[in-house]
Chains A and B, each alone.
Chain A
Amino acid sequence: MIANIVFFLLVGALPYYIFLEKSEKFSSKFIFQLSAFLLTCAIVLSFFIENEYSKTLVVIAYISAMYSVYRAMKTTNFYKLAYYFIYINAPFFLLFEENGAFYSLSLLISLFGLYAIANFYEKHYGSANYLYVRGITLATPLVGIYITVYLISIGLYPPLPNSLFFLAYVFDTEADFLWYIIIISIYCGNFLVSMKVLEKSIFGKTNPNIHYVDLNTKEKIPHFTIIVLLGLLSLYATKEIFTWVL
């Protein structure tokens, strides 16, 4: 039970809604860094602690995840979006724990991609808000491609690793009612939020009041690294799925 509570505190959204959200001391950038760090700790711990999940905690995490979906649909800030995605996927981690660790890892990597995009926006456009920086597919194609890849990955589309790990766990486990509810909600939640952001950020006409800037060589490196990591995870996930199937 203690292990369950520890995992819940590390990945669940409740601590955020109780403590972090109301404090003005913490910026959304810091909250993402903290949440990502805690999720990393949870992923590492899950390999060492054998544990049966607690239904109560999964249900609580699920409720806060659904609230996070609602909040994520409202926000136009990449930092906030990134940590909301962690909370949306918390019930999945709690349900599958070490089995779901690779899913959480690939999610974390995709979110670091979004974080890098947020940094880029903050540096060049003054904030990580994407609402008025529209139409980047044509204005800054590289940024557009990276955002598309990250969001498609989070939106659970193959051949990106999130979707492959998700499918692998879904096919490989015994299903009960709670399982169905969580799986369906996460599948739809991730998709709805990421598609909404994709539509609002990369599509649309370019804003004539904004001076668009594409990634320079130095800025390309973290994104390239993230894509390579996602690619490697995809290969691993494909191998996992087909080793199991065959």
Chain B
Amino acid sequence: MEKIILLIPAIPIVIAFLLIFVNKKELIPKISLLLSSMIALLGLYGAYYVISNETEITGFGGLLIYNQLSAILVPYVAILGLVIRKYATKYMWDEAGYKRFFILLNFIFASIYLLVMSNNLIVLALAWQLMSVGLYLLVSFNVGSKTAVKNARWTMYIHKSADFVFILAVILTYHLFGSFDLAVLKEQWLVMSQNPINNPMIFAVGLLYLIAAMMKSAIVPFHIWLPYTSEAPTPVSGLMHAGVVNVGGILLNKMAYLLILTPAVLNIAFVIGLFTAIFASMLMLVVSDIKRSLGYSTVGQMGYMIMEVGLGAFSLAVYHLIVHGIFKASLFLESGSVIKYARNDSIVPERLSYKIFSKEKLKYYKVKTVNRIALFTFVPVVTFIGVKMLLEPEFFEANATLVILAFAWLTGIQFFLSYFRVAKPNSLKVILGIISSFALIFFTYEYIGSSLEHFLYGEDALLFYKAATLNVSMAMAVAVVIFLMFIGCLFIFRKEGGNSKRKPDQSKWSYYRFLANEGYYFTMFKSSKKGEL
């Protein structure tokens, strides 16, 4: 009976096939929604079955599996799919190609389910490529727009390269380990991890999987497809930022046991992820186009996700991609209604938070440097120490601690400042708000992260942390975080402090120009096209 869950990837294909014969426009979303709710129910049932029986469901000769990872991701994708379909029902109503849109949407969802539930490298390779073509057709949905088609071309080039790298990795995996079956490979990799490995081919295979994941997850330097594809319909943007970019993380989780054999690949992932997170976040703040800014925000988050993988925190990466997906999808899907309300009322939405944090009138006054340092370095350090006292000491032995702390702090502030309108960034209420927000996110992250880790990998999770050999000491981590926060806050205060009359010096302009031009990445492409490079 439970084997029926393995039919999930086939259901969107059936929906797409049925829609071909539906001529009444009203019926298209109804059929799509009805049958995709079935997927959500099946997914939830599957999750319940896997959790309650502590077992996995395999079928089709071991090609498909509904395991712990699927039990988390399939219901997430299914519910996301329902929301996107529901949203698209009205949003896409007046667009030409309504039926085509729903067919393509179902097609891409089928490939995501197949990818998540695959237990064989060939099935994974097929799903991986199916997603590329589905995405291309969805991104270029607005066929009349030159820029949409041009950006879809770039998307396709990068995704095809990802397909190619992935296929190459699969060929090498088969030649090295003699199997396509992920369950068999996992056992083999676990046994191999008990002894030191010095095979450059294993490193090459690991690196190829990492590159393929980076391409699909829009990690620098393969990020160009994501910020520029915002011309796609909003439901597609929602799907891309909440679903498609996550497949890199899903792949790396499926390959987690291979990556423990190649610590160097994990280190590379960490460094590239860190660079992506910082670089994309800076670009996000500078680019003038709001949709591109959101695109860079996603690139930055994917950087975090890859960084977590690089530290051996595979389950955290899964949690991160789910949370980010929900957040980003809601941002995209909510944008229309926010614009609608904002047209009527400039301070919408007026919440309780607005009354608490924004009703105070702005008063700029000079703050002493000592106070600034105290406020934005002392407070977080005290909070970190407080957290350390509350948590188990083992928690701080893992490298992932750095990411969790930094992520919790940054997300806490980001969450607070983006959700609440803050008039006085240095008032006591705001500081308390930020600290509470940090604590809330940190404990949620830590609690769910640990539970997820236990659920997904059990005792094996320790192997991942051991494999991640890039050691960053706690003191160094805190020092770096303090330094970064201090620099950031200094910028904020100088801006707020009324120094606007002073002209920024040349180096600041150059720095701003560099960021505003997105690191001259696209200028380089254009120059090479013209033959100037």
Contacts and interface: CB of A to CB of B under 8 A. Distances in A.
B97 A138 contact: yes
Contacts, number: 66
Interface in A164-189: 164, 167, 170-171, 175, 184, 187-188
B144 A138 contact: yes
A170 B171 contact: yes
Contact of B97 (A137, A206, A242): A137
B186 interface: no
A159 B143 contact: no
Contact of A158 (B96, B97, B129): B129
Interface string B123-165: 0011001101100010010011010010001001000100010
A167 B144 contact: no
Interface in B243-278: none
B109 interface: no
A163 B127 CA distance: 12
A175 B160 CA distance: 22
Contact of B156 (A138, A195, A245): A195
Interface string B23-67: 000000000000000000000000000000000000001110000
Contacts of A135: 143-144
Contact of A167 (B125, B130, B133): B125
Contact of B180 (A148, A158, A170, A245): A245
Contact of B122 (A138, A171, A184, A203): A171
A38 B174 CA distance: 36
B143 A141 contact: no
A160 B132 CA distance: 14
A191 to B, nearest CB: 6
B215 interface: no
A191 B158 CA distance: 12
A188 B149 CA distance: 20
A191 B160 contact: yes
B129 A157 contact: yes
B125 A157 contact: no
A141 B126 contact: no
A55 interface: no
B105 interface: no
A199 B61 CA distance: 39
Given A138-B97, A138-B143, A242-B63, A157 B132 contact: yes
Given A171-B170, A171-B174, A163 B122 contact: no
B164 A188 contact: yes
A170 B172 CA distance: 11
A203 B149 contact: yes
A74 interface: no
A202 interface: yes
Interface centre among B61, B130, B133, B143 (most CB of A within 10 A): B143
Interface string B78-113: 000000000000000000110010000000000000
A241 B143 contact: no
A61 B206 CA distance: 34
Contacts of A195: 153, 156
Contacts of A222: none
Contacts of A203: 140, 143, 149
Contact of B130 (A158, A187, A204, A246): A158
A205 interface: yes
Given A137-B97, A171-B122, A199 B129 contact: no
B162 to A, nearest CB: 12
B129 A204 contact: no
A205 B97 CA distance: 14
Interface string A48-61: 00000000000000
B283 interface: no
A158 B149 CA distance: 22
A159 B180 CA distance: 19
Nearest to A202: B143
A195 B156 CA distance: 9
13 contacts: A135-B144, A138-B97, A138-B143, A157-B130, A157-B133, A170-B171, A171-B171, A187-B164, A191-B160, A242-B122, A245-B120, A246-B62, A246-B63
Interface of A: 135, 137-138, 141, 148, 152, 157-159, 163-164, 167, 170-171, 175, 184, 187-188, 191, 195, 199, 202-206, 241-242, 245-246
- Of all A-B residue pairs in the complex, the 10 with the closest CB atoms, nearest first, are A157-B133, A203-B149, A246-B61, A137-B143, A203-B143, A205-B144, A158-B126, A158-B129, A138-B96, A245-B180
